[in-house]
Structure 1
Amino acid sequence: MKKLMPFIALSLPVQAETLWSDFSLSYLNGSHYQVGDSDRQVATFEYATGTSWGGAFLFIDRLHSDNGDKETYGEFSPKFTLHEFAGTGWVKRLSAAATIEVGEEFTHYLYGAGIGLKPAGFNYLNVDLYRRNNDSGKDSWQTTITWAVPFKLASSQWLFDGFLDWSSAIGEQGTAASMNWTSQLKWNLTPYLGLKSPLYLGMEYAYWNNKYGIQGVHERNANLLIKWHF
């Protein structure tokens, strides 16, 4: 409980103004997963918000494998603005950052700092550096990059977004450095269906070296993607 208290306290939006918020549901179907059954379906709930104190991102995955295995995994990532940069440059803000990773048999705590960038053509580009407090072993380091780039092909609206996680090795445990680059290429169907909320159809691709820190386990996994924002 003591470990949880800093995150609970920091995540309370006391007298905070909500500037924007977004909910989404997505469905993935892929056949090239590593570690466990290769064929899986994944339902994901996501929530993101921007506030006067910073913002937060939450997602919960529910995984169903063809062999009958089921798993739930989630992350909660609050950010707290330390400084806003004026002007029209790339650097927008400096933030304190944290993440809680919760799986079936573990809970990891990450804490560090992040920088928010907005180069031309990007909705956002964030770089965060964390110290990982691993539940089942020694601490390590993680760098996370997230981005979103909208673009048009003819009259169609597209979005290319995703994340890259790099985690350092833990030599004493034999855990290898791991790099997970997961991106989504999505076509916005909303204009063709007369919807008020964005509905995307596309593909998610995971390029993951040393998955879960397991040396030599490399995942190259394309998934059918359907995502609805509401």
Structure 2
Amino acid sequence: MKTRHAATTLLIGLCSAMITSTAWAEMKWQDFSLTYLNGSHYEVGDKDRQVFTFEHASGHNWGDTFFFMDRLKWDDGTTENYMEFSPRLSLSNLSGSELSFGPVKDVLLASTWESGEGFDNLLYGVGFSLDVPGFKYFNINLYKADNDNNDDDEQLTWTWGLPVTIAQEEFLWDGFLDWSSASDTNKAEMNWTSQIKWNAGKHLGLESPLYLGIEYSFWNNKFGIDNANERNASLLVKWHF
């Protein structure tokens, strides 16, 4: 399959660039976190479930990476694993020319590997890192998706993080929006998931944030299934270290 070959080539190329660049690469920042979620209005499968998530994100002079793995435990005892790995390669760094313009800080080659129970999807395309006042980060990626069990489609992904301070209390609103186009095997879907959380860690003497809050999932046609619309609020505990 040509698209699978192109997606695999790009992902391998980005990973190779990451590995071979270790001698000269500058790491600007990195972050590790563990999250616990508990919700009761999930769609597709048991409505009650717990989710344990490990995340790592990093920024470099050559681009950035984001990785997470979910361990889902349904109320009926069923367990499931799901992960995504998303490296992006800076075209400014690759070309040696500054590609910033207007609110765009950089243009990047973007890819994502999605892996779950019985499938591996590969996404490839172009990403934009934007400078939006007040936001810690604001990114948009445009992908072509090569899917294992469904027809290939296109996807738009938007991620953001907005820190807010109210009466010296630290809050963070962050999340993502995924929109995927329709095909013969699945409906167009939109997953808008965000977290609103308060940093309790500063009151416990912790140097890194320990967040308490809520994650809300607004997901139309979940997994491309017609009318599988999820409206789920989950209690959240998230520790950065």
Per the shorter chain, which TM-score range? Answer: over 0.9
2:224 equivalent in structure 1? 213
TM-score w.r.t. length of structure 1: 0.94
| Structure 1 counterpart SS, 2:28 | strand
Q: 1:28 aligns with which of 37, 47, 71?
A: 37
Distance 1:137 1:176 in 2: 10
Task: Establish whether residue 156 from structure 1 lines up as the match of residue 169 from structure 2.
Answer: yes
- TM superposition outliers: structure 1 runs of 4+ over 6 Å: none
Within 5 Å, give how 1:146-185 maps onto structure 2: 146-170=159-183, 172-173=184-185, 175-185=186-196
8 A contact 2:100–2:107 mirrored in 1? no
1:140 equivalent in structure 2? 153
CA RMSD of aligned residues (A): 1.5
Q: 2:129 aligns with which of 84, 95, 116?
A: 116
Task: Establish whether residue 223 from structure 1 lines up as the match of residue 234 from structure 2.
Answer: yes
Within 5 Å, give how 1:30-45 maps onto structure 2: 30-45=39-54
2:61 equivalent in structure 1? 52
| Structure 1 counterpart SS, 2:91 | strand
Distance 1:137 1:42 in 2: 25
1:217 deviation in Å?
0.8
1:193 equivalent in structure 2? 204
Task: Establish whether residue 11 from structure 1 lines up as the match of residue 22 from structure 2.
Answer: no
Relative to structure 1, the CA distance from residue 70 to residue 150 in structure 2 (aligned partners, 3 Å threshold; closer, same or farther) is same
1:8 deviation in Å?
3.0
**Equivalent position amino acid for 2:13 in 1:** A
| Structure 1 counterpart SS, 2:44 | coil
Relative to structure 1, the CA distance from residue 227 to residue 141 in structure 2 (aligned partners, 3 Å threshold; closer, same or farther) is same
TM-score w.r.t. length of structure 2: 0.90
8 A contact 2:10–2:124 mirrored in 1? no
2:90 equivalent in structure 1? 81
| Structure 1 counterpart SS, 2:182 | coil
Higher helix residue share: 2
2:95 equivalent in structure 1? none
1:86 deviation in Å?
5.1
Deviation digits for residues 144-170 of structure 1, max 9, x if unmatched? 000000011212100000000000001
**Equivalent position amino acid for 1:210 in 2:** N
Provide the aligned length of Structure 1 versus Structure 2. 227
1:129 deviation in Å?
0.4
**Equivalent position amino acid for 1:189 in 2:** A
